[in-house]
Chains A and B, each alone.
Chain A
């Protein structure tokens, strides 16, 4: 059972938009920045979003992040088949004094 809750899967057609939610609590998301990671099969995770909304250089603006209260959201527009991957949210938990990840959301581009 993950501290952060994500939907197990989402799907959408190529070119469409999808959002992935990440629900936490006052001890983690509400008080700390959230990062989002993309993991393609058999590879290490890659950061897409940091500090809730910021994109590292090289990450296309099709990827966006937002945060409100105890929840965060990853948005992906203009879906491509290459976006098929598992996406994770992550942050620090002040009560646990530990890093925490969501359980991961598998994106299928139909």
Chain B
């Protein structure tokens, strides 16, 4: 167990719908990253938050948005869903302080758009 919790584990929804994925980082970790992993593909960086603020943005679609709350949990919102959005969405967290840079991954949320 990495200490990073993602909910739900599985999500099936229809095209055009909107979903919210939730991530609770490890206790004390200030940085949260979101990644998308399509079938047999690599890890595509979406967005990173540090202590409540957006710090880095990858290839995140305009239909997607995220935020990090004061208690440091994060949510990834996916709207106007398309079939191609079906993927495994990972959240990772790191304390990012001094030499401590290791990122720990949650177990992922598998999103299926039908």
Same complex: no
